[in-house]
Amino acid sequence: MSISSERRNKVMTDIIPKLDFRPFIGGRFVNLPSDDVLPVTDPYTGDVVITIPHSGEREVNLAVMAARQAFDNGSWANLHPRERASHIVKLADLIDKNLETIALVETLDTGRPFKGALGWEVPNASEVFRYYAGWADKITGHTLPDIAGVNIENYQEPIGVCAAIMPWNFPFAALAWKIAPALAAGCTVVVKAAERAPLTTLLLATYVSQVGFPAGVVNIIAGNGNTTGSALAKNRDVDKISFTGSATTAQQVIRDSLDHLPGWSLELGGKSANVILKDANLQDAARAAIGAMFTMSGQDCGAGSRLLLERDIADEFLSILLPLVKARRLGDPMDDATEQGPLIDYTQFERVSEYVDEARRSGGNILVGGSGTKDGPNFYLPTLITDIPLNARIVREEVFGPVATVHLFEGLDEAIRIANNSSYALAAAIWTASANNAQEFRRKIRAGTVWLNCYGWFDTVSPWGGRGLSGQGKELGKEGLDGFLITKAVFRM
Ligand code: NAD
């Protein structure tokens, strides 16, 4: 049996049947009164692998009530910060102990290559929990100079009950990015797993129950966006919504919660420009562009989906890049040789196909790719499109698939103008041998993250997040913690 069949067999027969995917509310797994279920499909085969309980408004309200009580009774916020840290570290330990199990479930559920799940995503979650555990006893206030004999103190307090609404593209890491800082700050949380990939989010409840967090501190449910997600957004006991997903859904979440105006942090999409100047190291830039455009089959908010080439080197650069694109190994995500797995589902496949077909109809030149493959129902070829106007839909909107558009420019000013011509502002990169060019780009580009002669780097210590349709607020780093704290000003006579 091949290693990929062995892994799929193991997760399907040894792991999934033994896991508890029921909603976790108030410190225990609960049975739903209805038989409402959510089918979970394997993106590689397109088959339903399991059905799980679908939480509705009733479970949302129970989960928020449990989180509210746990916050208000101080069982978590008033715990000694080092005690909070110790719970969070225990959770990280359990993740480390179960790395392979979580990575297998993540691969089955999202179609992301196992190598990436085991090598990056799951360890990253554990690292993020440890990092924020370290912050728990470093949350301080400060004293301001007296004014007319009045003493002024500022306290940093946990914001309260936090709703975490999850995406499907890297759900396990995204989960840590949200709940680790929330827990370190002393908040309680209600997590809604993404309906298209809910399994590892729900799996975390097993480890949470093993750590022994006070009841109601962490609640995890799964459900559809327009029912369960919307009920969560509307619940007035939610003090903060930490959302990762598309800009359109974020706008709906804001509308649904306008009545009570909770805090929002919004990690949304991107349309990031990857700029190659003529003085760049073209070999390095081409290799990095492959990862920028096609990691996670392009279902990555930071994807470099607009490739900007200085006209003088465009032909040479493409002559290096295209063979690399064509050599990309698509296949079973359980296989270590696979570089690109399937899209999350057939709906996503149709969405990607539609964007590319529209670009083709409007005169776009498909340099490579442009169709599905025989690897499975949800596979799409890595695709590059050129000769497409800057106002075309495929250039303006996030496709969320292995598709990039190629644009030519002359000089740094034009590159920056094109790069900034987007409603999104998540990330951008430039490749150049000139420190001056790099610094000018860094200063003028509208983006939350800028990569100079590299692509895709981020780190737990450094904040991630964009502007405009890419969202607001930051995750990771100290700023990721600040989003779960609120300042209380005290004046003392
Ligand atoms: P989505 O907006 O469809 O769904 C995100 C979440 O919102 C899901 O849990 C969904 O159930 C929920 N939801 C849907 N409708 C809702 C509603 N009316 N009320 C409340 N919740 C609702 O996004 P997606 O397709 O799951 O994720 C892909 C998007 O996420 C892409 O745009 C991607 O760029 C973005 N993303 C951003 C980052 C980042 O860090 N900036 C990271 C990952 C993904």
In short, whether 244's Cβ falls inside 6 Å of ligand 1 is yes
DSSP, residue by residue, 456-480: S---TTS-B--EETTEES-BSHHHH
Tokens of 486: 């609120």
418: part of which helix (H) or strand (E)?
A: helix 411-420
Dist. CA 441 → ligand 1 center (Å): 30
**If you ran DSSP here, which 8-state letter would residue 214 be given?**
P
Residues paired with residue 84 on neighbouring β-strands, in sequence order: none
pLDDT along the chain (493 residues), means of 10: 96 98 98 93 97 97 98 98 98 98 98 98 98 98 93 97 97 98 99 98 98 98 98 98 98 97 98 98 98 98 98 98 98 97 98 98 97 95 97 98 98 98 98 98 98 97 98 98 98 95
Distance 244 CA to ligand 1 centre (A): 5
**Pocket flag, ligand 1, residue 45 (CB < 6 Å):** no
> How many Å apart are CA 194 and CA 332, to the nearest integer?
23
Taking the C-alpha atoms of 473, 462, 466 and 396 in order, what is their torsion angle to the nearest 10 degrees?
A: -150
For residue 380 and ligand 1, the question of a CB distance below 6 A is answered with no
Which residues are bridge partners to 340 per DSSP? 330
pLDDT at 1: 87
Residue with CA nearest ligand 1 atom 23: 245
pLDDT of residue 354: 98
Give the whole-angstrom CA distance, residue 455 versus residue 467.
19
Q: Which amino acid is at 405?
A: T
Q: What's residue 254's pLDDT? A: 98
Residue owning the nearest CA to atom 39 of ligand 1 = 267
Among 112, 244, 253, residue to substitute to test ligand 1 (most atoms within 8 Å of Cβ): 244
| 55 pocket-lining for ligand 1 (C-beta < 6 Å) | no
Cβ 344 under 6 angstroms from ligand 1: no
Ligand 1 centroid from CA 194, angstroms: 8
* Residue 195 Cβ < 6 Å to ligand 1: yes
The finding on whether 229 has its CB within 6 A of some atom of ligand 1 is: yes
- Check if 267 is active-site: yes
Quick one: how far is CA 8 from the chain centroid?
Answer: 25
d(CA 38, CA 466): 32
CB 90 less than 6 A from any atom of ligand 1: no
Sign of CA dihedral 109, 110, 111, 116: negative
Give the separation between CA 307 and CA 431, rounded to whole angstroms: 11
Rg (CA), the chain: 23
* Residue 301: active-site member: yes
> What is the Å distance from ligand 1's center to 353 Cα?
20
Nearest CA to ligand 1 atom 29: 245
Q: Tally helices (H) and strands (E) across the chain.
A: 17, 22
Residue-wise over 456-489: b if at least 16 C-beta within 10 A, else e? bebebeebbbbebbbbbbbbbbebbbbbbbbeee
pLDDT of residue 61: 98
Helix (H, G, I), strand (E, B) or coil at 421: coil
Quick check: 196 and 223 in contact, CB under 8 A?
no
How many angstroms is it from 222 CA to the middle of ligand 1?
A: 14
Choosing from 106, 195, 267, 310, which is the catalytic residue? 267
Please give the sequence-ordered ranges of beta strands (E in DSSP) within 19-136, or none if there are none: 24-25, 28-29, 37-41, 48-53
Centroid of ligand 1 to alpha carbon of 479 (angstroms): 21
How far does the centroid of ligand 1 lie from the alpha carbon of residue 367, in Å? 30
Does ligand 1 come within 6 angstroms of the Cβ of 199? no
Nearest residue by C-alpha to atom 10 in ligand 1:
225
pLDDT at 483: 98
Task: Indicate which residue of 59, 127, 301, 339 is catalytic.
Answer: 301
Q: Is the CB of 265 under 6 A from ligand 1?
A: no
State the residue for tokens 């990771």. Answer: 476
Euclidean distance between CA atoms 145 and 260, whole angstroms: 35
Looking from the CA of residue 192, the nearest atom of ligand 1 is 9
Using DSSP's 3-state secondary structure scheme, residue 322 falls into helix
Return left, alpha or beta for 289; rule: phi > 0 is left, psi -120 to 50 is alpha, else beta. Answer: alpha
Centre of ligand 1 from the C-alpha of residue 249, in Å: 6
Q: Which structure tokens are listed for 403? A: 């598709």
Ligand 1 neighbour 245 (Cβ under 6 A): yes
**Under 8 Å between Cβ of 23 and 29:** yes
For atom 13 of ligand 1, which residue has the closest CA? 225
